[in-house]
Amino acid sequence: EDQVTQSPEALRLQEGESSSLNCSYTVSGLRGLFWYRQDPGKGPEFLFTLYSAGEEKEKERLKATLTKKESFLHITAPKPEDSATYLCAVHPPPGTYKYIFGTGTRLKVLA
Amino acid sequence: DTAVSQTPKYLVTQMGNDKSIKCEQNLGHDTMYWYKQDSKKFLKIMFSYNNKELIINETVPNRFSPKSPDKAHLNLHINSLELGDSAVYFCASSQGQIYGYTFGSGTRLTVV
């Protein structure tokens, strides 16, 4: 069965303390892997799409990477405003249409 | 502002009532979705329309009925509301199915 697992479930960092979030998946024929940020009381906000192993995308302090089995969201020198829940989702093979979301990592960055 | 807007933001209602949530996008996207987010923050697809055609119809109670009058609008009607329907419902849109989604800000439904 297609599955997406995110770890850790929750992460507390000091401001400036770099770390990585993990998204592992068991999907054959991956068409895309997506990262979103969700703030409390708001809808998820699209961050990145990765389509093939070895691909990397960057935005400010965030860098997403993709292998054949997992994706990492690296956060370099985080700030308190980076605190949010980070969700990953995969787009399965043609004909299924459906994203599969992970359960997210709740990140808290302390000043 | 270009966005996905859904109304109402909050909905508190009694068991057994019928309610609707409306969604509109002005991004020119051809695909729209309804997602349910439970208390553990897990997002689960309910329905999806592509150019007004239903393409995803997950196993949800038939008390839930989507309607897409045009490709910019997707509404969700819920009959005979139950306590277990309490959740946050998100509308989203995308251009095709392999690109990032734009989500609305959600409707928090509370059934009492």
From chain B, pick out residues whose CB is under 8 angstroms from the CB of A104.
41
Judged by DSSP in three states, A65 sits in strand
Cβ separation A98–B43 shorter than 8 A: no
Of the candidates B43, B100, B105, the beta carbon closest to that of A101 is on: B43
> pLDDT digit of tens for each residue in chain A (111 aa)?
778 999 999 999 999 999 999 999 988 778 899 999 999 999 999 999 999 999 999 999 999 999 989 999 999 999 999 999 999 999 876 666 678 899 999 999 999
What phi-psi label fits residue A31: left (phi over 0), alpha (psi between -120 and 50 degrees) or beta? alpha
Of the candidates A32, A36, A85, the beta carbon closest to that of B98 is on: A32
- Provide the residue type at B59 as one letter: T
From chain B, pick out residues whose CB is under 8 angstroms from the CB of A92.
none
Give backbone dihedrals phi and psi of B85, rounded to 5 degrees, phi first: -80, -10
B-chain residue closest to A105, CA distance: B41
- Element counts in chain B: helices (H) and strands (E): 0, 11
- Element counts in chain A: helices (H) and strands (E): 0, 11
Read off the tokens for A55: 């691909």
Instruction: Read off the pLDDT of residues B68-110 as tens digits, 9 standing for 90 and up.
Output: 999 999 999 999 999 999 999 999 999 876 778 999 999 999 9
Q: Are B22 and B78 in contact (CB under 8 A)?
A: no
Which of A2, A4, A22 lies closest to A107, judged by CA?
A22
